[in-house]
Structures are given as structure tokens and as C-alpha cells.
Amino acid sequence: MANSRFSHAIAEGDGISVIAAVDDPDAARAAEAQRAEALVVRTDPSAVREATSLPILWRTAGSLEQASAAADAVMLVFDALEDDDGRLEELHERALELGLDCAVEVRNEEELEEALDRIDPEIFLLSPLEADSDETPLEVVLDLLAAVPAGKLAIADLPLTTLDEVAELERAGVDAVIVQEGDIALLAGGPPPEV
């Protein structure tokens, strides 16, 4: 039985989900208090796992077995796995076997189309890393979103995110946005009211 806590967290509810980029347990606790709906971690997720109940997307090239012990999802970077040597397919299949959700980072429409053809992922992480100088990161993400088939989840990964950008992403149909630690409260609607 697959553990789909991560995909469920970003698919449910109204509006766009906030995924907080954190590196340590304190940041994870703060993000949860500020109503983030999931976390993205580049370091070992074990310490963060103990500090929070939020689903974790592990964004590094660690072993899938290690990921399955502490994270709910892993990220595969299409650019690093684009060779047609079977590694992308193998890693995707193994992640799903281990009960992990699998987000595939794509940087352009060709990568997105090829990922669909090869593994048909459920979750796309839309990255503006290859933005032309005449396009803003937001425009790149929105262009990529247009190529994501209905029924798939799309996560925007913008370097800096404003409230206006989040509103535009939400209107366009993006399911979630990765935000840096300091921006969470502003973008997630602040901490819950004191009762």
C-alpha cells in the first residue's frame, strides 16, 4: 500500500498548498506552526521527521531506502536522469514500491513531455532554472503548467515568492508552492488565531 501522505496533503483542501523549505527540526516546527502543509528538506530528513507530523519531500540524491525511513516523497531531477538508460524508470518504480510519492523536477516543456512518456509521474515540480532572460521565473512556471495534464499535481518552485505570485499560481491551477522559511506565515495566512 503506497503512502500518499505528501500528494494527499497538497491535493486536498481549497486553494494552493504551501510547502516550506526547511533544514532543521526548529524550522520544521516553525513551519508547522505557521500552517505549512508539507516540508521540503535537502538534508537528512530523520531529525526533521522527529520534529513534525507534516509530510516531507526529500530533495536530494540519497538512497530511496533511506528516504522511505523518514520521508513521504522523493524528488527525481529529470535533467540528471534524462539519459535513456533506464535509471529514471528504475528509480521511479522503486520509490513507488517503497511507498514514496515521487515528484519529478522538470525545467522545460521537452523534459515534461519526455517524463510523461517514460514514467507518467503523478507529481511535477516546475522549476524555472532554465529561464531565458526575457521570461520571469513565474512566467516559466506558468508556461510549464500549461503542459501538465489534468489530474496531475503541479508544484511551483520559485526562488522568491510574493503574495501576488502565489495568487496568480493559484488562479492558474498550481497545487502547491515551495516557499523559503521566512516567507511561510505571510503566504500561508499566518499562524492560527489564539483561542
pLDDT tens readout for residues 13-41: 778 999 999 999 999 999 999 889 999 99
Q: How confident is the model at residue 63 (pLDDT cuts 50, 70, 90)?
A: confident
What's domain 5-188's superfamily in CATH? Aldolase class I (3.20.20.70)
Q: How confident is the model at residue 135 (pLDDT cuts 50, 70, 90)?
A: confident
The pLDDT of 127-145, averaged and rounded, is 86
Q: What local confidence, expressed as pLDDT, does residue 20 receive?
A: 94
Q: What local confidence, expressed as pLDDT, does residue 188 receive?
A: 59
Q: What local confidence, expressed as pLDDT, does residue 194 receive?
A: 47
Stated pTM of the model: 0.90
Distance CA(168)–CA(68), nearest Å, equals: 34
**Higher local confidence (pLDDT), 161 or 55:** 55
Q: What local confidence, expressed as pLDDT, does residue 193 receive?
A: 43
Q: How confident is the model at residue 154 (pLDDT cuts 50, 70, 90)?
A: very high
Q: What percentage of residues in the chain have a pLDDT greater than 90?
A: 69
For residues 156 and 18, the answer to whether their CB atoms sit within 8 Å is no
The pLDDT of 35-51, averaged and rounded, is 92
CB atoms within 10 A of CB 150: 5
Alpha-carbon distance values, 139 to 23, 101, 130, 131, 169 (Å):
28, 27, 12, 9, 10
Task: With a cut of 50, say whether residue 2 has pLDDT above it.
Answer: no
Tell me how far apart the terminal alpha carbons of the chain are, to the nearest angstrom: 38
Q: What local confidence, expressed as pLDDT, does residue 185 receive?
A: 60
Alpha-carbon distance values, 90 to 29, 41, 96 (Å):
34, 23, 10
pLDDT tens readout for residues 92-133: 999 999 999 999 999 999 999 999 999 999 999 999 886 677
